[in-house]
Amino acid sequence: MTELIYQNDSYIQSFDAQVIQVDKQNNGVVLDRTAFFPGGGGQPADFGFLTCQKETFAVKRAQRIAGQLVHLIEGGMWVLAMIILFASIVVPVLKLVVLSFLLISVKKKSSWRPRDRTLLFRVTEGVGAWSMVDIYVVALLIGLVNFGALSTIRPGIGATFFGAVVVITMFAAHSFDPRLIWDNSGRTK
């Protein structure tokens, strides 16, 4: 049972408490004591910050869930999430689309804009060299993000498949011969 400090001192601004339970489903924590009012009777819920081992977490509100006062933690790492999404999903998919487009254009003996297609290949090949950065980011996150019960990172089999896609697209880019783009360009040698 959480001790409700706000009932005795409604102006308290800081307090010490221990995490007694983690609610992973709601991304929240239950503390042994709290000054966060859960809201009710027309009064909004309190919000603020929790500091744990020099890390600060934003509490978007306190809420009663299943008879317990849960402090709902805000994620707040959207920039990092967007970087990971772009580097891990968008770039590999674009590489596969570009390589497929180049392969189809060579197969159909297209003479359409050979200089631009060659530049597109060079850019794709250059980006391919940086694709393994994602694996290093995952490894760094595993080492840095260790909040115990609050959050965990397990790359699992996803890292294996992602690494395989990176290696396969790098081999595909290196095995493609960009001189084939110029074979049907209509230019004389």
142 band by pLDDT with thresholds 50, 70 and 90: low
- At 31 the pLDDT is 93
41 band by pLDDT with thresholds 50, 70 and 90: confident
Q: Which CATH architecture has domain 3-73?
A: Beta Barrel (2.40)
**Residue whose tokens read 């595993």:** 142
Phi-psi label, residue 97: left if phi above 0, alpha if psi -120 to 50, beta otherwise = alpha
Residue 148 pLDDT greater than 70, yes or no: no
- At 36 the pLDDT is 92
- Ordered by start, the domain boundaries in the chain are 3-73, 78-182
Rounded to the nearest integer, the mean pLDDT of the chain is 82
The model's pLDDT over 79-100, given as tens digits with 9 standing for 90+, comes to 767 777 787 788 888 888 999 9
The residue count for the chain: 189
Tell me the H-state helices in 45-155.
78-85, 91-107, 114-128, 133-144
pLDDT > 70 fraction of the chain, expressed in percent and rounded: 84
Residue 64 pLDDT greater than 80, yes or no: yes
With contact defined as beta carbons under 8 Å apart, do 19 and 30 qualify? Answer: yes
- Picking from 89, 22, 7, 85, the residue whose alpha carbon sits closest to that of residue 57 is 22
